[in-house]
């Protein structure tokens, strides 16, 4: 019998990536639910999902990700990113379901200049970062087997993200300004999905590996760049007409404070899963190819 994977937040970037890659994992049955079908902030919706589907894995791709709006939409941000995690813990404790949840570099928010390790101190300053950390804590303290993936600068061919915005701006504008003093690595959703599925498959085939599933992992591609570097690389491949200017963060004020340092250590996931992690540039090229941009 196929193991069931229920994916909530199916209309988001990660949810759509799971949907488009599901055929590459034929030993699993995927079931997808958008917010109108399963609202994770609604206990009754989650109970119905648990009772009717009884999934082996719940992959929670639902999240409030409007980082700046969260500063004024505090309640809805915490409802989706924190209270909903509490609901998941309440509903699925005592069932066979194991949880996969996605978090963010915003939980660290430090300027250490050393690669961020999973057990480093957490000091989120934005409403978004605080809501994601509290959601993590609810799940981790529930006693459920929970795989938490922290990633940064997520992009994909779907929805709204930095890569697609830069493509548009480079075709419409002669000059654009991009922040050049925030460091990290952009994570392609396809890479994230393959890493998660590798962990799920490893555990499914060998239940003795529960300890490697029930962990928090950083996932980011190899390399360290700034948003400015990323934008310039995109512009070059799409043959945009824009000249990109590097500016400091102070010249691009936002409602929510951004981490200056989002460089994540990949040692733990490499050690536990023995997986290859691609370089950010190779993944960017792959995504741009999917969007129809050829590279020589």
CATH of the domain at 211: 3.40.50.720
In a domain, 241, yes or no: no
Cα–Cα distance for residue pair 293/295, rounded to 1 Å: 7
Cα torsion 103, 108, 109, 114: sign: negative
Cα–Cα distance for residue pair 177/158, rounded to 1 Å: 24
In a domain, 118, yes or no: yes
H-run or E-run covering 182: none
Domain interval for residue 83: 3-160+187-221+263-278
pLDDT by 10-residue block (mean), the chain, 296 residues: 96 97 97 97 97 98 97 98 98 97 96 92 96 98 97 96 97 96 97 97 94 97 98 96 96 95 95 90 97 86
Q: Is 271 exposed, middle or buried (0-12, 13-18, 19+ CB in 10 A)?
A: exposed
In a domain, 248, yes or no: no
In a domain, 286, yes or no: no
> Phi-psi region for residue 71, left (φ > 0), alpha (ψ -120 to 50) or beta?
alpha
- Report whether 266 contacts 152 (CB < 8 A): no
Cα–Cα distance for residue pair 280/201, rounded to 1 Å: 24
Return the structure tokens found at 222. 């190899």
In a domain, 90, yes or no: yes
Q: What is the pLDDT of residues 48-68, one digit of tens each?
A: 999 999 999 999 999 999 999
Domain count, the chain: 1
In a domain, 256, yes or no: no
In a domain, 255, yes or no: no
In a domain, 117, yes or no: yes
Q: How many helices (H) and strands (E) does the chain have?
A: 11, 12
Q: Is 294 exposed, middle or buried (0-12, 13-18, 19+ CB in 10 A)?
A: exposed
Q: What is the pLDDT of residues 118-140, one digit of tens each?
A: 999 999 999 999 999 999 999 99
pTM: 0.96
């Amino acid at each position: 019998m196929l193991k069931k994977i229920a994916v909530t937040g199916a209309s988001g970037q990660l949810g759509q990536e799971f949907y488009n890659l599901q055929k590459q994992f034929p030993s699993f049955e995927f079931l997808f639910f958008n917010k109108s079908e399963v609202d994770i902030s609604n206990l009754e919706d989650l109970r119905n999902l648990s009772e009717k589907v009884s999934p082996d894995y719940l992959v929670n791709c639902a999240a409030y990700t409007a980082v700046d709006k969260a500063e004024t939409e505090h309640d809805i941000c915490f409802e989706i990113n924190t209270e909903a995690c509490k609901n998941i813990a309440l509903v699925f404790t005592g069932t066979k379901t194991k949880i996969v949840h996605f978090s963010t570099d915003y939980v660290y928010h430090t300027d250490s200049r050393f690669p961020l390790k999973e057990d480093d101190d957490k000091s989120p300053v934005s409403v978004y970062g605080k809501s994601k950390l509290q959601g993590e804590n609810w799940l981790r303290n529930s006693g459920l087997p929970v795989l938490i993936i922290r990633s940064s600068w997520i992009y994909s061919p779907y929805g709204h993200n930095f890569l697609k915005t830069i493509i548009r701006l480079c075709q419409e504008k002669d000059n654009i300004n991009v922040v050049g003093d925030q460091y990290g690595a952009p994570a392609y959703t396809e890479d994230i999905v393959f890493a998660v599925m590798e962990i799920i498959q490893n555990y499914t085939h060998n239940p003795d590996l529960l300890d490697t599933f029930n962990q928090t992992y950083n996932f980011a591609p190899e390399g360290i760049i700034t948003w400015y570097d990323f934008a310039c690389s995109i512009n070059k491949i799409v043959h945009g007409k824009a000249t990109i200017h590097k500016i400091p963060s102070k010249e691009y004020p936002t409602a929510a404070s951004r981490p200056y340092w989002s460089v994540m250590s990949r040692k733990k996931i490499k050690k536990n899963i023995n997986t290859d992690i691609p370089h950010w540039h190779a993944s960017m090229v792959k995504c741009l190819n999917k969007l129809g941009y050829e590279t020589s």
